[in-house]
Structure 1
Amino acid sequence: MRNVVQQRVDHWRGHKSFAWAGECGIFADYVFHDARAKGLSAQLDSFDDDLDCWSRVTPPPGVTVPQLRELGLSLNHVWVVLDSRHYDAASPAGVDNPLDLLCARLSFVEELRRKSPDLLRCLTRQFDWWRTAEASELEFQAIFKTRDAQYEEN
């Protein structure tokens, strides 16, 4: 599956981050069909303005899924699942938990920064998961303007 995802990333036009943040549904659909053409029993999964999906989720350290919902954290993302691993353009090797996909991590940091900055500070002090997510979110924000200039339809 890793090769299927990586090949699609390699052929993605425009800034590669659009494949996992902005056009994840298109990317996941391509990967899904590529995987099925190779005989893999891949499935699509998604978050649609909520933290519900058919895959099992484990909350990030220091919080529960009900707490995330109470804070009003929402997420829109589509990815491919094969053998309980979750794949998108930012995670071609796959992850065990859909909330470990980079898009989810960045979304949580961005929303907590707006809705509960004190909680985010506490979580980043205590947990490496949140520290690395925050660092990745800051890197993503730094490329945002140049990324938009590199948009190409896929």
Structure 2
Amino acid sequence: MSLQPKVIDRIFQRCAASYGAAWDRSLGTAPLNDVKSAWGHELAGFADRLGLIAWALENLPEDPPNAIRFRNLCRQAPVLDAPPRLERVAASPERVTAELAKLQPALAKPAERRSNVAWAHAILAQHQRTGRMNPTKLAMARAAVGRPRSTEQEDEAA
């Protein structure tokens, strides 16, 4: 996520107001857009944590910072809001047994599991009809039906 240009503009406005001519001298002779791009690059990691940038603006050093010093100042900001944590609740043995029982019908039907390779049979049939198929796709279809290497006659049997 990149830092919005309006955030960089706000930082520059605040620094210009705080440091005056010293801020202008600190920017040097490079084009202002290039300088702002460099600041945006250095501060991109704070795009979703603007509170850290706000803290840095409230705690500016005596001398005008460059992009790297300002980034380091942002990193020194205290973490104010820790994310909420959910309580860890152990599952009861009865609930675990009930949930596993719900899975048993799916595990007890091997014929249905074999139907999960219907896509592979369709690819093999299409290859047999047209003689054309992406080799990787064909190899995956053959592997899915348990025939890693196959001939066209074997594909016809599918």
TM over 0.5: no
Q: Between Structure 1 and Structure 2, whose CA radius of gyration is higher?
A: 2
Greater helix share, structure number: 2
Greater strand share, structure number: 1
Q: Compute the TM-score of the two structures, normalised by the length of structure 2.
A: 0.22
